[in-house]
Copies of this chain bind each other. A is one copy, B any other.
Amino acid sequence: MKTIGVAILGLGVVGGGTYKILTEHRDFYRRTQNVDISVESVLEINRERALALGIEESKISDNIAEVVSNPNVDIVVEVIGGVEPAKSFVLAALHSGKTVVTSNKELFCKYWYELEKVARRTNAGLYFEASCVGGVPIIRTLIDGMQANVVHSLTGIINGTTNYILTRMTREGLGFDEVLREAQALGYAEKDPTADVDGFDAAYKLSILASLAFHTKVPLEKVYREGIRGISSLDIAYGEELGYVLKLLAIGKNDGGGKVEVRVHPAFIRKDHPLASVNDSFNAVFLQGDSVGDVMLYGRGAGALPTGSAIVSDIIYAATHGEHKYATFKNTQLPEKGVRFVTDFNSRYYIRFTAHDRAGVLAKVAGVFAKYNISIVDFIQKGEDIDRAQREESGDNIPVILITHTTSEFSVRRAVSRIAALEDIVKVNSVIRVEN
């Protein structure tokens, strides 16, 4: 039986979960995987925390050099998060020839190149299933399950906090601020919620997933990013009437000819789309491959045990496969030659504006759209059925909602700024993309 010694860097939520899984399942892995995995070392400044988990005093260290020079350690698990000191620690482990398993999406999407370069040189493994979508084996699927396919698109709900907030706004008609405050009180959202609600976390993950799906480095700065702070529950309700659900989507598209688009933003999707029923803190990724067609993976995107499951899955994978596989594209720093990132992507759009109730205003609006070659699918003037709160807010003004056919982002932006400047338009309230 193979024996594998593991070091865990950081005993936070995920580190603690990983320790628990490894120790409780040690016999199970001996029996089912023919591998004996023991935790040989933990790097943790807070000794009390380590002792409380039942870790022997002699295995607790506060010195990375000590951990990576320990001959009993084969695999180093990095679950500290953020760039430093995680990066220095991971590099130290790789330089020592230790295989690294990490859950660190920010580190990985920003420094993949640097890490992989060292890993290849020292023949160390570099595994990162836990960096994206918690326990859902999306990275294994892209590398080892759908690799026969040219992947045309990837659409994901890959941030649990924002999905929880949007689900509650949808179900209960509450405003963003109120739900965020409650989520913070319950520990579902961070005190500083920026990484989640402004889409950074989803952008990190999309950069990694799209790189794997499209076999080219997708740099973080190429990901268009828009968060959910501006979302009004009114738009969620109007969308629902029209058959849509609002989600924070991470979208990657690859036209096969070198044109790649990557974007994170709120979007409406049809209620009968498999992603529409992914609620609360659940995550899912919907993939379209040229041979396999539509595939979706669904599960918990975060949490001590789901993320720990992904980490331990990587440990077992590294321990039971002969050779380490690295990225399927040559340069993990720069996009492949010939790849262009599209910023003027195509979409359908939901647009809500408030107009003075005067004859002619809709004709003027229609004229602007016509000028930009944007055709309208649905044109809904909320008159009779407008609810009182909304009427009080808007005075005599009426809200108008329209949904466009597929058109270009830039055309819509130009048309919207023209419409906002029309005399009879009080305000353009919302512009929300509608995914097919």
Contacts and interface: CB of A to CB of B under 8 A. Distances in A.
Interface of A: 17, 21, 25, 28-29, 31-33, 129, 134-137, 140-141, 144-150, 215, 272, 274, 277, 282, 289, 291-300, 303, 305-306, 308-313, 315-317, 320-323, 325, 328-329
Given A135-B146, A135-B292, A292-B309, 16 more contacts: A17-B291, A21-B291, A29-B148, A32-B147, A33-B147, A135-B291, A136-B295, A140-B144, A140-B145, A291-B305, A293-B299, A293-B300, A295-B297, A295-B299, A320-B325, A321-B323
Contacts of A322: 321-323
B294 A274 contact: no
A148 B289 contact: no
A295 B137 CA distance: 9
A404 to B, nearest CB: 27
A329 B325 CA distance: 25
Contacts of A323: 321-322
24 contacts: A32-B215, A32-B329, A33-B147, A135-B289, A135-B292, A135-B295, A136-B295, A137-B145, A140-B141, A147-B313, A148-B312, A148-B316, A282-B294, A291-B305, A291-B309, A291-B312, A292-B309, A293-B303, A293-B306, A295-B297, A295-B298, A295-B299, A295-B300, A321-B322
A314 to B, nearest CB: 9
Nearest to A289: B309
A274 B272 CA distance: 12
Contacts of A282: 294
Contacts of A328: 32-33
Given A32-B215, A148-B309, A296 B299 contact: yes
Find the residue from A129, A309, A316 having the highest chain B CB count within 10 A. Answer: A309
A320 B28 CA distance: 28
Nearest to A328: B32
A141 B135 contact: no
Contact of A28 (B135, B150, B298, B315): B150
B137 A141 contact: yes
B313 A146 contact: yes
Considering the complex of A and B, which 9 residue pairs feature the smallest CB-CB distances, nearest first? A137-B145, A322-B322, A135-B292, A148-B312, A295-B299, A292-B309, A291-B309, A296-B298, A322-B323
Nearest to A336: B31
B148 A144 contact: no
Nearest to A293: B300
Contact of A321 (B291, B300, B306, B321): B321
Nearest to A282: B294
Contact of A309 (B136, B149, B309, B312): B149
B300 A294 contact: yes
A33 B325 CA distance: 10
Contact of A145 (B291, B294, B313, B329): B313
Contacts of A305: 291-293
A295 B296 CA distance: 11
A72 to B, nearest CB: 21
A31 B149 CA distance: 13
A351 to B, nearest CB: 29
Nearest to A286: B298
